[in-house]
Structure 1
Amino acid sequence: MQNRTPRIPEQPAPNHPELDARFTDELAAVLSGARRRALRDGDRQIDTAHLLHSLIEADPEVREAFDGGPQLARVLGYLVQRSIGYGLRWQGSVEDSGTVPVVRDPAADGCWSPAALAALYRAASRGEDRAAGLDLLAALAADAESRAVEVLARGGVDARWLAGRVAGVLTTEESRRG
């Protein structure tokens, strides 16, 4: 049986050097996972749903933020369905939540959708030395027009509730360190 996964060389995540040092090693692994998922799915760009899927798979703190198994199971179920062929209406299209201008040349931003790139910048700008998975989850949940929020809604998760819950966890962590 022939492997149909395209072989595209791994690039640093994302293709913006000023961000590279702003992510924890764990979050860098999540970004690489999102890139692989997009390639495997045949998508033109890495979008916020790819980021959400990789975050949930890789980061235990992100899984805990969902406050219980049923919500998390529904979100993961939808993401898995999407990766095996449902949700094809997104395939080959550019995610544009309106947060930043659409980049017409995918190579210009390392093949990240504008909404995914905006979430990465938002996560990296929280004021900590390095952004972690919860930072990215908060940024994804805050963009009401993103694919990640659509996935959350289909899984029965209120994105505003999730963003508030994550913000509370991040604030508690900051006060413990400070």
Structure 2
Amino acid sequence: MFEHKNYSGEKTKDYELLIKQLDALSEGEKNNVALLSNASALLNQFLTEVNWVGFYLWEENELILGPFQGLPACIRIPYGKGVCGTAVSEQQTQRVDDVHAFPGHIACDGATNSEIVVPITIDNQIYGVLDIDSPINNRFDEEDQYFLEKFVLHLTKHLQ
């Protein structure tokens, strides 16, 4: 599941290492664009079977495209629309095994079949979302969700 030579292939152990790498890369950095850019690059090289990894940031009551790895994407997502907008409106992670069955799914990339979106909050205010797409159905499981939520929690400690 994990490509990088520094990872063991043991999912839990590798996610823990990923989070340590995030903290090491982010320590002392004050620029949010730089932090989010490195976070998306780190996830993109860590995860296999994904075709888009990135962030949408909450501005003026909508999500706006932020740093990402992958093909060009939708620039704006309204509150409550698609998987990302639903994650914001419900304030909880959306793990979707088949995006084509998700009511109101926004198809930025027709190759995407599953998706996980983790809301990012700072001081109980929505900051944005981490969005990860996969061309594989059922790509993300409960363990992925747990560790991606933990990844976001660590990331928020570095964001200004």
TM above 0.5, one fold? no
What's the TM-score once normalised by structure 1's chain length? Answer: 0.27
What's the TM-score once normalised by structure 2's chain length? Answer: 0.30
When you count helix as a share of all residues, which structure comes out higher?
1
When you count strand as a share of all residues, which structure comes out higher?
2
Larger radius of gyration: 1
